[in-house]
Chains A and B, each alone.
Chain A
Amino acid sequence: MSPRIRVNPIMCEAHGLCAELLPELIRLDDWGYPIIDGPDVPHELLALARRAADACPTLALLLDEDD
Chain B
Amino acid sequence: MSQSAGPAGLPRLLVGLDPSGAPMTLAEHQAIHGPLPRVGASELIEAVEQSGLRGRGGADFPTAVKLRAIRSRLGRRSALVVNGSETEPASAKDLLLLSRLPHLVLDGARLAAEAIGASEVFVKVSDTAVTALRSLESAVAVRADDPVPVSLVSGPPGYVTGEESAVVHYLNDGVAKPTFVPPRPYERGYRGRPTLLQNPETLAQIALVARYGAHWYRELGTDADPGSALVTISGAVAAPGVYELAFGTPLTDLLSAAGGPIEPLRALLVGGYFGTWVESGSALRLRLAREDLRSVGCSLGSGVLIALGESACGLHESARVIEYLAHESAGQCGPCVYGLRAIAQSFAALADGVAQPREQERLLRWAAEIRGRGACHHPDGAARFVESALDVFAGELAEHRGGRCMAAPAGFPVPGLAPRSAARRRARAVR
Contacts and interface: CB of A to CB of B under 8 A. Distances in A.
Contact of A29 (B332, B335, B375): B335
Interface stretch (B75-83, B186-194, B366-374, B418-426): B366-374
A19 to B, nearest CB: 13
Contacts of A8: 180, 375
Contact of A31 (B180, B339, B374, B375): B339
Given A30-B342, A33-B373, A10 B366 contact: no
Given A30-B342, A31-B338, A9 B369 contact: no
A45 interface: no
A29 B342 CA distance: 12
For chain A, the bracket of interface size reads 10 to 19
Nearest to B330: A10
B332 A9 contact: yes
B232 interface: no
A31 B374 CA distance: 14
A8 B199 CA distance: 27
B334 A12 contact: yes
Contacts of B334: 9, 12-14, 31-33
Given A30-B342, A33-B373, A35-B369, A10 B335 contact: no
B156 to A, nearest CB: 18
Of listed B179, B180, B339, residue having the most chain A CB within 10 A: B180
Contacts of B375: 8-10
Interface in B382-412: none
Interface in A10-42: 10-14, 29-33, 35
A31 B332 CA distance: 14
Interface string B211-237: 000000000000000000000000000
A59 B369 CA distance: 22
B333 interface: yes
Contacts of B366: 30
15 contacts: A7-B373, A8-B180, A8-B375, A9-B332, A9-B333, A9-B335, A10-B180, A10-B333, A29-B369, A30-B366, A31-B335, A32-B334, A33-B335, A33-B373, A35-B373
Interface of A: 7-14, 29-33, 35
